[in-house]
């Protein structure tokens, strides 16, 4: 297990390094006057040249990339055209629009996204895995066909459609929930939860469908294996076989899918945050793209990649705990 963990850690670090190289090349090496964008449209040619020198844009590409990596661990000085600002490590640059450090901006927006992601994740895992298990338990009956139809409808329905329907029904018609207005958990935990109920349900209803389908197919495949037939031959009840033996092996692909989804969610659920007005990372990314705020876009892409890689590493560990055969692979 120790060697397995070291291999997974080394692989995660390599992926993060490769991601940073790709992102840097895509945004900073691509054609375009980065110094002019950083300084602003009103800067004189002399100020643009000063910014270019401060950012070391005349250096070879590999030197620029080395300075970019160095800024992540040691910080960096940036020229604003009228002065010099020190960006503390981990430095992802300064926002062209606000002049704020990108790291601080992301840290300020991240709690809202994490609140949305974690709550929705727990809900869609419970719904998805539970629905998949129930369809296996009632396979061949009307219940299975109904659940299959529901999951297919969930996979085909966009999250903003479900969100709008929930707002119309729960907020406008029945008035049982307030229109979501994000309140930080530290200010009022009760209002924090009430205002996130609709976003959680919207994401969960859409995201639970693939988990239900995957749980069902994995369970049926596991139940057809030789060791399960041996349990049946020894008279072990079907409930024990499904709940204790088959479920553990069938959850491995579900865990892997969950890691991808929760990692991407930490990067921002753009549609859900925009629909419900949640001031999270997703809305910030949309605003940064609209305003051509390059450092913010790069920082958010790197943070999203970090969470995806981290979630996959955790998923590998959980899979190894659920199925010891993974350690030997």
pLDDT 10s digits, 112-152? 999 999 999 999 888 888 888 888 877 778 877 887 787 77
Evaluate if residue 286 carries a pLDDT over 90: no
The tens digit of pLDDT for each residue in 197-252 reads 999 998 888 888 888 888 888 888 888 888 778 888 888 877 777 777 777 777 77
The span from the CA of 134 to the CA of 168, in Å, is 30
What does each C-alpha distance from 146 to 139, 201, 223, 293 come to in angstroms? 11, 20, 22, 47
Evaluate if residue 81 carries a pLDDT over 60: no
Q: What share of the chain is helix, strand, coil (3-state, %, to 5)?
A: 75, 5, 25
Residue 168: the pLDDT is 92
Using the 8-state DSSP alphabet, how is residue 326 labeled?
A: G
Which residue reads 């529901």 in tokens?
A: 150
Nearest alpha carbon to residue 97 among 41, 47, 52: 41
The tens digit of pLDDT for each residue in 29-41 reads 765 667 776 666 6
Give bridge partners of residue 87 from the DSSP assignment: 76
Average pLDDT over the chain, rounded to whole? Answer: 81
Residue with the larger pLDDT of the pair 236 and 170: 170
10: left (phi > 0), else alpha (psi -120 to 50), else beta?
alpha
Residue 149: the pLDDT is 81
C-beta neighbour count of 224 within 10 angstroms = 10
Q: State the pTM of this model.
A: 0.80
Evaluate if residue 327 carries a pLDDT over 60: no
- Of the listed ranges 53-62, 68-77, 201-210, the least confidently predicted one is 53-62
């Amino acid at each position: 297990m120790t060697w397995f963990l070291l291999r997974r850690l080394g692989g995660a670090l390599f992926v993060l390094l490769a991601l940073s190289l790709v992102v840097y090349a895509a945004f900073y090496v691509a054609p375009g006057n980065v110094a002019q964008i950083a300084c602003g449209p009103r800067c004189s040619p002399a100020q643009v040249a000063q910014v270019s020198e401060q950012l070391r844009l005349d250096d070879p590409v590999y030197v620029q990339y080395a300075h970019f990596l160095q800024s992540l661990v040691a910080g960096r000085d940036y020229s604003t055209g009228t002065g010099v600002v020190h960006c503390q490590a981990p430095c992802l640059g300064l926002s062209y629009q606000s002049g704020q450090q990108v790291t601080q901006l992301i840290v300020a927006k991240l709690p809202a996204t994490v609140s949305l992601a974690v709550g929705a994740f727990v809900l869609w895992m419970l719904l998805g895995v539970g629905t998949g298990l129930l369809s296996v338990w009632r396979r061949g009956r009307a219940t299975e066909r109904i659940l299959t139809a529901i999951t297919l409808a969930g996979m085909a329905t966009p999250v903003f459609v479900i969100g709008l329907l929930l707002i119309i029904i729960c907020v406008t018609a029945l008035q049982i929930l307030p229109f979501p207005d994000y309140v930080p958990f530290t200010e009022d935990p009760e209002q924090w939860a009430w205002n996130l109920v609709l976003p959680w349900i919207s994401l969960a209803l859409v995201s639970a469908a693939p988990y239900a389908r995957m749980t069902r197919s994995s369970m049926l495949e596991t139940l057809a294996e030789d060791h399960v037939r041996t349990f049946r031959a020894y008279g072990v009840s079907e409930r024990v076989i499904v709940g204790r033996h088959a479920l553990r092996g069938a959850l491995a692909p579900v865990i892997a899918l969950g890691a991808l989804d929760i990692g991407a969610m930490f990067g921002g659920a753009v549609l859900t945050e925009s629909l419900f007005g949640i001031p999270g990372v997703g809305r910030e990314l949309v605003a940064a793209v609209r305003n051509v705020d390059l450092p913010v876009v790069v920082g958010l892409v790197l943070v999203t990649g970090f969470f995806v890689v981290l979630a996959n590493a955790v998923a590998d560990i959980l899979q190894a705990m659920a199925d010891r055969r993974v350690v030997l692979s």
